[in-house]
């Protein structure tokens, strides 16, 4: 059973006054693939863009064509007709999402230079659209495959884009980011995640820095685990609390998700951990659990 090892420090809660304009998101890119269960992702990205007065770019990725068994035998005019039907379906799907995008830009008063882009199925240019964004929002993968193989788009962007990626869950709750849970273990990945998340951290009403089994990395934490990162965030204006837990041997990924739910987090911030095996990237256990099972948006950075 997870146990709490220390309590919050009042000293860590005191925010310092700063000009929050120094930490801004200028451009947010949201990827859409036409799945109905990710319909809230545009609204979430729109709220984020409004909060930061950011330019919003929506990249629509044409979904994989669906072919019925009967259509696999189509030839000649039948093949031509089938292609026309599928193209019309794709155009309707994109038109619906584009109309939603236009409505969100209008309702939230998002900057006029916001943009809609469209990419064909399996386009090799997908990653390029993420490279120059300050924040990327993409749908959470639907399940975890136990077979190592080429990573999907979300996995690939998290591991290789060099940009902070917010993974939005299916049927996720759309809201402003007021409460943020930071998974902190004083590693390079978690340091990078906190730095990338700073623009949203300084605007949150409550930030909780959570350390799990901190004794495993005593050298990185210093004398009072969590205190240094809390002071760092407080200097930037964040309202910070620190909590330390022991996993008791339980799955740390599940513990993070349960603590995010208990805290009422609108966003979980964490570093992404992975390793290269036979020239393919594989996620570490905690990252994998959170990436595939999170019920709240997760900002991952590497």
Question: What letter does residue 188 receive in the DSSP assignment?
Answer: H
115's torsion region: left (phi>0), alpha (psi -120 to 50) or beta?
beta
Q: Which domains does the chain have, with CATH numbers?
A: 1-24+171-302 (3.40.50.620), 25-133 (3.40.50)
Distance CA 282, CA 274 (A): 5
Q: Are 270 and 193 in contact (CB under 8 A)?
A: yes
H-state helical runs in 8-138: 10-13, 40-52, 77-107, 128-131
| Longest CA pairwise span in the chain (Å) | 75
CA triplet 92, 96, 101: central angle to 5 degrees? 145
| Residue-level pLDDT, tens digit, the chain, 302 residues | 555 554 444 333 333 333 444 468 999 999 988 766 667 899 999 999 999 999 999 999 887 666 555 555 555 666 667 667 777 888 888 899 999 999 999 999 997 789 999 987 767 788 899 999 999 999 888 644 433 333 478 888 888 888 999 999 987 778 899 999 999 988 889 999 999 999 999 999 999 999 998 877 666 677 788 899 999 999 999 999 999 999 888 889 999 999 999 999 999 999 988 655 444 445 678 888 898 899 999 999 98
* C-alpha 69 chain-centroid distance: 36
């Amino acid at each position: 059973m997870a146990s709490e090892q220390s309590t919050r420090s009042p000293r860590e809660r005191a925010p310092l006054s700063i000009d929050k304009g120094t930490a801004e998101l200028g451009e947010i890119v949201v990827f859409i693939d036409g799945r109905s269960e990710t319909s809230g992702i545009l609204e979430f990205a729109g709220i984020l863009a409004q909060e930061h007065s950011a330019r919003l770019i929506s990249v629509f990725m044409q979904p994989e064509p669906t072919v019925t068994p009967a259509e696999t035998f189509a030839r000649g005019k039948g093949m031509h007709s089938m292609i026309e039907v599928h193209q019309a379906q794709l155009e309707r799907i994109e038109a619906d999402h584009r109309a939603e995008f236009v409505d969100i830009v209008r309702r939230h008063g998002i900057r006029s230079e916001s943009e809609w882009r469209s990419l064909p199925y399996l386009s090799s240019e997908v990653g390029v659209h993420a490279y120059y964004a300050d924040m990327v929002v993409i749908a959470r993968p639907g399940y975890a495959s136990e077979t190592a193989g080429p990573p999907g788009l979300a996995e690939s962007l998290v591991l290789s884009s060099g940009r902070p990626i917010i993974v939005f869950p299916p049927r996720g709750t759309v809201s402003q980011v007021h409460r943020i849970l930071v998974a902190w273990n004083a590693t390079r990945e978690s340091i990078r995640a906190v730095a990338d998340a700073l623009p949203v951290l300084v605007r949150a009403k409550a930030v909780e820095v959570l350390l799990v089994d901190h004794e495993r990395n005593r050298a990185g934490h210093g004398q009072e685990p969590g205190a240094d990162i809390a002071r760092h965030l407080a200097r930037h204006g964040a309202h910070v609390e620190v909590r330390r837990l022991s996993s008791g041997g339980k799955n740390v990924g599940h513990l993070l998700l349960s603590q995010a739910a208990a805290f009422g987090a609108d966003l979980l911030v964490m570093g992404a951990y992975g390793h290269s095996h036979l020239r393919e990237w594989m996620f570490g256990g905690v990252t994998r659990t959170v990436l595939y099972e999170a019920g709240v948006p997760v900002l991952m950075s590497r």
